[in-house]
Structure 1
């Protein structure tokens, strides 16, 4: 009975889900954006691809650039004061203390690393184009998922949640979900033009930015259903990254060129 109720709840949230853009805040980064997260305290980090790590207040005002050396790519939050950032050129993940503004640890890998996500006290990191690696905070490899060769793009966008990893392949125009052994749970290819940023809602459904079509789509956590949340008519140009506020149904969307932060509310 519990599984039926949870299934009904999931379908209800997909079918009745709506996204509203509350405000669209102009920001002045104007550089290629590779990642963005909402911190637990409501602030937002926007990462310039191999550039600066920008910290914004919850109202979208730029506070500072974090003093993290190197050329960053992806970011995730570990706890209230700690984030982790990938540096593909250095083949490294740097653990950064937000309070002291210092790098406390550098995890060195044997290959280039891109997308990054934290869950269950472990990091999931996209390695080149064909591997997702689960590592602990000391850098020890816990699991390695070898992916099919159809993945043409680097593993730049992934979410690690509930013992599964969901990632987008913008060249292949698809979103995939795999378990921790690398076995494919589902794939979604219906009408995607260039899926990039993604995040999970409180029910485990996947919210995806479809860059070229200027759309935001939700995919049910079983990969069977989807719904258009934001269309091209909503004038959200080239959405690149999306993230939820901690334990909330609202969050932010950022475009690829760092010209706006759009605050959204999700209701179901």
Structure 2
């Protein structure tokens, strides 16, 4: 059972398997980067590898094998001298072949695995009707597979690529070879075609009558306007990579989850007094419990941390039986998205009070306020009662990468669209919408968003460049 696999860190596994020793040769990382990656998808992939190959033995314990939650290592030859490492992050499944042999090269091993895994992913999509898409990316052998990866299409159009992690140029062919050797031999013009798998994932077209009744096109703007109050730079160092996945504002304090560095970043609303709270896990989502306390979900670590931001300490830990993602707090209860497809309502000890059914198996975010629950997947917004009954659904074809959601005092819904660099606002009845903020407002891959209902301010943060913005939101008099 994947959920019963023990947890471990990449560093510990590298030590136990011998990945960082001098006699271990490593290929570049092959990365399947998804718009949304359900954890169950990785479980299917792991099960396939278990059927194909023997799990590698762990050096520190000859009776144990390298099968962990979110990361596995397999022997792909009888000698055990050639291995494949399979792991995942929030939106990426990554593979790397390891060789302890004195022989040079990997032969056709990598390109054969690429072909088989690509076919497997497509088979899983069809078998389980998973409407998800991915792009093929790569990363240098000792690079971080979960950030600053190189898209295959761009690699094949340039002889060299600049690695922001190593601050040097890499030869493009060395990055994608030998994974793509067979692919390029079969299709010499492969580099001219997109590796995005949308052809296998036809869009789930909404019912035309529903669209006509619920999403009437209007020319007037929604009754809100925004004015920039403060632009902030929360990047701790120019050499540091940051993935800011979510944010909140509580009083005069801003809190950001820094996924790549396992920490919370905290500062005043004017950007002053920046400090961090180091964590043992990678934080993904955050919600306010009170002015001094937040709850943070940690994805594949199946853990929720209760943190006092005044004392900068973790006060309690809630262990979840499955991967936990989006999280919201309301009326003494935590609403937690489990594996992207169900919502558990639990108290602050982790006791599950009840579950809420949802209409999507790819929930990206959730917010609960008073008697309404709003959740989003990559292309739709669902507004529900607290028992899960859908009051309205909003969907537009041009919105395919919705990432985070928040609501204001009037019930208007605000969502970030990372791909189009925008914030969209949807009216409280789901009938009207408009782009509220765009790239011209400084947005560059915006992800985190939070509406402070006491001050009528909107906090938005970009995913990677360390920039955040506070906007004053006002209603227009009509």
Once structures 1 and 2 are overlaid, which stretch shifts more, 227-236 or 28-37? 227-236
Q: 2:381 aligns with which of 155, 175, 181?
A: 175
Q: Which residue of 2 aligns with 1:198?
A: 405
Distance (Å, rounded) in 1 between the aligned partners of 2:389 and 2:405: 20
1:185 and 2:391 equivalent? yes
1:56 and 2:241 equivalent? no
Q: 1:228 aligns with which of 432, 435, 448?
A: 435
1:93 and 2:299 equivalent? no
Q: 2:252 aligns with which of 42, 51, 62?
A: 42
Alpha-carbon distance, 1:62 to partner = 5.1
Q: Which residue of 2 aligns with 1:218?
A: 425
Partner SS state of residue 403, structure 2: strand
Q: Which residue of 1 aligns with 2:348?
A: 137
Partner SS state of residue 237, structure 1: coil
Alpha-carbon distance, 1:16 to partner = 2.4
1:159 and 2:367 equivalent? yes
After superposition, the Cα gap between the structure-2 partners of 1:231 and 1:72, relative to the gap in structure 1 and judged at 3 Å, is: closer
Alpha-carbon distance, 1:164 to partner = 2.6
Contact kept? 2:408, 2:453, Cα under 8 Å: no
Once structures 1 and 2 are overlaid, which stretch shifts more, 188-197 or 228-237? 228-237
Partner deviation per Cα, 1:105-140 (whole Å, 9 max, x = no partner): 222211100111111111111111210111111212
Alpha-carbon distance, 1:55 to partner = 0.6
Structure-to-structure mapping, 1:228-267, within 5 angstroms = 228-245=435-452, 247-267=454-474
1:122 and 2:333 equivalent? yes
Partner SS state of residue 124, structure 1: strand
Contact kept? 1:42, 1:245, Cα under 8 Å: no
Give the structure with the higher percent strand. Answer: 1
Once structures 1 and 2 are overlaid, which stretch shifts more, 118-127 or 161-170? 161-170
Distance (Å, rounded) in 2 between the aligned partners of 1:234 and 1:256: 15
5+ residue gaps, structure 2:
1-220
Distance (Å, rounded) in 1 between the aligned partners of 2:313 and 2:443: 36
Tell me which structure has the larger Cα radius of gyration.
2
Partner deviation per Cα, 1:120-169 (whole Å, 9 max, x = no partner): 11111111121011111121212212323x43x3x342101123321221
Distance (Å, rounded) in 2 between the aligned partners of 1:239 and 1:67: 23
Contact kept? 1:123, 1:134, Cα under 8 Å: yes
Alpha-carbon distance, 1:246 to partner = 5.1
Count of aligned residue pairs for this structure pair: 250
Give the structure with the higher percent helix. Answer: 2
5+ residue gaps, structure 1:
1-13
Partner SS state of residue 283, structure 2: coil
Once structures 1 and 2 are overlaid, which stretch shifts more, 175-184 or 209-218? 175-184
Contact kept? 2:342, 2:356, Cα under 8 Å: yes
Distance (Å, rounded) in 1 between the aligned partners of 2:265 and 2:468: 12
Compare relative contact order (CA 8 Å, sep 6+) and give the higher one, 1 or 2.
1
Q: TM-score, normalised by structure 1?
A: 0.85
Alpha-carbon distance, 1:264 to partner = 0.8
Contact kept? 1:42, 1:246, Cα under 8 Å: no
Distance (Å, rounded) in 2 between the aligned partners of 1:23 and 1:79: 24
Distance (Å, rounded) in 2 between the aligned partners of 1:263 and 1:201: 14
Contact kept? 1:243, 1:251, Cα under 8 Å: yes
Distance (Å, rounded) in 2 between the aligned partners of 1:248 and 1:86: 26
